[in-house]
């Protein structure tokens, strides 16, 4: 039995009620699960637990009704379990253990009974004991109510202090304290006396229990309960038990809900990996990166930059044991963050990842991501010259050149160390330009797994190395590469005639519209059947144009290049539609034109 469960059970079994028990813990740490599953099993049938969720509640009266409703429902369930009613006059009834003793004292013809039968919840008075069983009131999600925390604690106090019912309050106290500061400030503005949360807690709460996650017990419990029809996935999770223990203990997030979500969402990825017959070691690396990213993303710890994508979250540096960017490509990150899963896209990505992993084990490819101190002798000896060749030919990703420059600078702090071959900086610079050009022509912009080189690191670089770093920084921060990639994405989507691919372009930002892109946009518009589809596409392009105009910072009055040509082509289409006797298509074209203004 955990220490928290032991303390809660001790409170429930004590004969005196001097106050409530406050169970604290982070969101998703398992507080509700402990009270709904572990505590009933520990206390046994002599106790009735009434859980009242406060999530989103806006009225104290509604909360009171919810308590009465839960009390009556549980009482009727107890009667059914006992297979007999509790008549008034028995020893239990005399002790006040029934839901409402007066119900048994009046006849069925009484007007009071008629009122009771019309709305029984209005006449329920919760009591400490129900048919010989001890009642435990549990108020969950205290911090998620829309009511004042102090007013809510006052309401709870009615049941704990006045009615002497054992009461457990469940909350993330850090969120409560943050909210209380805001409430206190607002109340001061209203110039009224304010009883703060701490003072109210001191009056109501007898003891506080803080739930600390037992990683081993939590993981074992999750894996024991996990159900799936996918062959092999349960065994895979059980074999990943050690990685999950470490991940949950070392990650700053202790949210069990997020962990379960990661396991559930990875199930489809595991299926695609099995179809590709991907080696188990690679699947496990994808798995740990996936679950860690999911837990952080669902708790607001991951942000997506328009320039850097997800690359500046420092996950690789912070969690090297669990996370590597190449095991979690952009489409997987986007699916986790947005909740939109495209199985066809993901299946294709897993196929590409398998091919990529087969080559990444070669020494020259290992050097793409390893920091200087992490390089093994065998990797350096066997892979260095081939690695330099890749760099000189522009076959590294733009940010992988930063890894190379960092390692060249780091090596100087170890006197006596020599590289197997010295790099030619002029060839490296030419290779970088080829890499930048390739990235600009890609359909999707690259993600940056390496952070920009800071001032201290730049100071350790040679002039030629510094020049390469500054070129990469300029490329990363300018955003032109991303706009070029966005242009290619929109062009490819329109050419494919795939409505889903076109909708996926809603976040595209352009630096201009060229003839090829304008023709692709109009050809897709003409291919659409029905004005509803045409209007939806016009709205999409209108949003892209608006975002692109906003991107022309520091260029007041500058028009987006190519926009006038697109408008002229649309005007011709409008005239053609009117000439051909298609007035409603002409309306759709005119709508499109208005969206460009």
Q: Are 577 and 589 in contact (CB under 8 A)?
A: yes
pLDDT higher at 359 or 319: 319
Instruction: Give DSSP secondary structure letters for 145-163.
Output: -SS-HHHHHHHHHIIIIIS
pLDDT score for 98: 45
Q: Which residues lie below 8 Å from residue 36, measured CB to CB, with a gap of 6+? A: 49, 51
Measured CA to CA, the distance from residue 571 to residue 555 in angstroms comes to: 27
Does the pLDDT at position 32 exceed 50?
yes
Confidence of residue 210 (pLDDT cuts 50, 70, 90): confident
Q: Which residues lie below 8 Å from residue 491, measured CB to CB, with a gap of 6+? A: 516, 517, 520
Does the pLDDT at position 111 exceed 80?
no
Lowest mean pLDDT among 114-128, 198-212, 371-385: 114-128
Measured CA to CA, the distance from residue 128 to residue 71 in angstroms comes to: 11
pLDDT score for 11: 92
| Percent of the chain at pLDDT exceeding 90 | 35
Token code pair at residue 192 = 């009224």
Mean pLDDT across 14-31: 83
Per-state percent for the chain, helix, strand, coil, to nearest 5: 60, 5, 30
Q: Are 104 and 134 in contact (CB under 8 A)?
A: no
Does the pLDDT at position 468 exceed 60?
yes
Max CA separation in the chain (angstroms):
103
118 dihedral zone (left: phi>0; alpha: psi -120 to 50; beta): alpha
pLDDT score for 122: 65
pLDDT score for 106: 42
Does the pLDDT at position 90 exceed 50?
no
Q: Which residues lie below 8 Å from residue 67, measured CB to CB, with a gap of 6+? A: 50, 52, 126, 137, 159
What are φ and ψ of residue 135, in 5° steps?
-90, 135
Which tens digit of pLDDT belongs to each residue from 133-188?
999 999 998 888 888 877 888 899 889 988 899 999 998 877 775 554 445 545 44
Confidence of residue 86 (pLDDT cuts 50, 70, 90): very low
**Is the dihedral angle over the CA atoms 503, 504, 509, 511 positive or is it negative?**
negative
Under DSSP, is residue 21 helix (H, G, I), strand (E, B) or coil?
strand
pLDDT score for 311: 55
Does the pLDDT at position 107 exceed 70?
no
pLDDT mean across residues, the chain: 82
Confidence of residue 313 (pLDDT cuts 50, 70, 90): low
Token code pair at residue 574 = 């409008």
Q: Which residues lie below 8 Å from residue 129, measured CB to CB, with a gap of 6+? A: 95, 96, 97, 135
Confidence of residue 288 (pLDDT cuts 50, 70, 90): very high
Which among 136, 164, 150 has a CA at the least distance from the CA of 203?
150
Residue by residue, what is the 3-state secondary structure of 515-577?
HHHHHHHHHHHHHCCCHHHHHHHHHHHHHHHHHHHHCCCCCCCCCCECHHHHHHHHHHHHHHH
Q: Kind and range of the H or E element at 332?
A: helix 330-338
Does the pLDDT at position 404 exceed 90?
yes
Mean pLDDT across 474-485: 71
Which among 129, 138, 128 has a CA at the least distance from the CA of 49?
138
Beta strands in 96-254 (DSSP E): 129-130, 133-140, 166-171, 205-210
pLDDT score for 461: 94
Q: Are 509 and 483 in contact (CB under 8 A)?
A: yes
Confidence of residue 305 (pLDDT cuts 50, 70, 90): low
Confidence of residue 99 (pLDDT cuts 50, 70, 90): very low
Mean pLDDT across 468-473: 89
pLDDT score for 486: 82
Measured CA to CA, the distance from residue 13 to residue 47 in angstroms comes to: 9
pLDDT score for 237: 94
Mean pLDDT across 1-30: 85
Does the pLDDT at position 219 exceed 70?
yes
**Is the dihedral angle over the CA atoms 429, 434, 435, 439 positive or is it negative?**
positive
Token code pair at residue 411 = 């090596």
Confidence of residue 206 (pLDDT cuts 50, 70, 90): confident
pLDDT score for 113: 47
pLDDT score for 481: 66
Q: How far is CA 64 from CA 35, 122, 395, in A?
A: 21, 10, 67
Q: Kind and range of the H or E element at 47?
A: strand 47-53
Q: How far is CA 321 from CA 223, 256, 284, 315, in A?
A: 22, 20, 12, 10
The CA-CA-CA angle for residues 41, 43, 49, to 5°, reads: 90
Does the pLDDT at position 53 exceed 50?
yes
Q: Which residues lie below 8 Å from residue 214, measured CB to CB, with a gap of 6+? A: 2
Lowest mean pLDDT among 160-169, 222-231, 292-301, 312-321: 312-321
Lowest mean pLDDT among 227-231, 364-368, 451-455: 451-455
Token code pair at residue 22 = 């406050």
Measured CA to CA, the distance from residue 408 to residue 419 in angstroms comes to: 9
pLDDT score for 239: 93
pLDDT score for 575: 92
Mean pLDDT across 239-264: 86
pLDDT score for 18: 82
Ranked by mean pLDDT, which of 140-144, 212-216, 359-363, 445-449 comes out on top? 140-144
pLDDT score for 51: 92
Q: Which residues lie below 8 Å from residue 188, measured CB to CB, with a gap of 6+? A: 194
**Is the dihedral angle over the CA atoms 493, 496, 500, 502 positive or is it negative?**
positive
Q: How far is CA 596 from CA 342, 570, 589, in A?
A: 31, 10, 11
Instruction: Give DSSP secondary structure letters for 393-438.
Output: TT-S-HHHHHHHHHHHHHHTTSTT---SS---HHHHHHHHHHHHHH
| Percent of the chain at pLDDT exceeding 70 | 83
Domains in the chain, CATH or no CATH each:
3-210 (3.40.50), 213-361 (no CATH), 498-595 (no CATH)
Does the pLDDT at position 56 exceed 80?
yes
Which tens digit of pLDDT belongs to each residue from 509-549?
888 898 999 999 999 999 998 899 999 999 999 989 888 88
Mean pLDDT across 475-493: 77
């Amino acid at each position: 039995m955990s220490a928290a469960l032991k303390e809660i059970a001790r409170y429930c079994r004590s004969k005196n009620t001097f106050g409530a028990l406050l169970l604290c813990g982070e969101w998703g740490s398992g507080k509700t699960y402990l009270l709904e599953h572990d505590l009933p099993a520990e206390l046994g049938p002599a106790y009735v637990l009434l859980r009242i969720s406060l999530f989103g509640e806006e009225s104290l009266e509604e909360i009171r009704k919810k308590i009465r409703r839960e009390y009556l429902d549980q009482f009727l369930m107890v009667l059914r379990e006992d297979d007999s009613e509790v008549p008034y006059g028995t020893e239990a009834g005399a002790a006040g253990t029934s839901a409402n003793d007066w119900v048994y004292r009046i006849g069925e013809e009484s007007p009071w009974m008629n009122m009771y039968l019309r709305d029984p919840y209005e006449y329920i008075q919760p009591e400490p004991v129900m048919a010989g069983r001890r009642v435990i009131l549990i108020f969950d999600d205290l911090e998620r109510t829309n009511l004042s925390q102090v007013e809510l604690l006052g309401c709870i106090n009615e049941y704990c202090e006045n009615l002497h019912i054992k009461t457990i309050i469940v909350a993330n106290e850090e969120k409560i304290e943050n909210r209380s500061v805001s409430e206190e400030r607002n109340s001061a503005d209203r110039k009224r006396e304010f009883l703060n949360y701490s003072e109210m807690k001191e009056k109501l709460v007898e003891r506080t229990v803080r739930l600390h996650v037992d990683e081993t017990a939590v993981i074992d419990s999750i894996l024991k309960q996990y159900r799936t029809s996918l062959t092999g996935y349960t065994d895979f999770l059980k074999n990943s038990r050690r990685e999950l223990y470490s991940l949950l203990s070392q990650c700053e997030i202790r949210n069990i809900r997020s962990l379960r979500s990661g396991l559930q969402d990875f199930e489809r990825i595991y299926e695609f990996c099995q179809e590709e017959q991907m080696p188990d070691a690679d699947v496990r690396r994808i798995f740990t990166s996936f679950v860690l990213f999911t837990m952080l993303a669902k708790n607001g710890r991951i942000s997506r930059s328009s320039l850097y994508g997800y690359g500046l979250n420092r996950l690789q540096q912070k969690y090297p044991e669990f996370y590597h960017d190449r095991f979690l490509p952009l489409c997987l990150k986007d699916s986790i963050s947005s909740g939109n899963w495209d199985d066809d896209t993901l299946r294709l990505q897993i196929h590409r990842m398998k091919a990529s992993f087969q080559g990444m084990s070669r020494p020259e490819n290992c050097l793409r991501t390893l920091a200087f101190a992490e390089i093994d002798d065998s990797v350096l000896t066997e892979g260095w010259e081939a690695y330099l060749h890749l760099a000189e030919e522009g076959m590294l990703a733009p940010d992988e050149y930063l890894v190379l420059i960092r390692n060249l600078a780091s090596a100087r702090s170890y006197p006596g160390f020599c590289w197997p071959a010295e790099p030619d900086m002029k060839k490296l610079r030419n290779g970088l330009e080829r890499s930048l050009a390739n990235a600009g022509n890609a359909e999707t912009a690259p993600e940056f797994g390496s952070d920009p080189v800071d001032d201290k690191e730049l100071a350790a670089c040679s002039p030629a190395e510094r020049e390469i770093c500054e070129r990469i920084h300029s490329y990363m921060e300018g955003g032109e590469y991303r706009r070029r990639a966005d242009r290619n994405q929109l062009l490819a989507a329109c050419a494919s005639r795939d409505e889903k691919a076109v909708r996926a372009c809603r976040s595209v930002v352009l630096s201009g519209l060229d003839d090829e892109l304008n023709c692709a946009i109009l050809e897709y518009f003409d291919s659409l059947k029905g004005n509803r589809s045409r209007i939806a596409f016009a709205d999409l392009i209108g949003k892209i144009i608006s975002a692109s105009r906003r991107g022309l910072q520091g260029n007041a009055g500058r028009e987006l290049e190519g926009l006038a040509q697109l408008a002229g082509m649309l005007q011709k289409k409008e005239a053609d539609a009117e000439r051909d006797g298609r007035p409603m298509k002409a309306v759709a074209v005119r709508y499109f034109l208005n969206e460009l203004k």
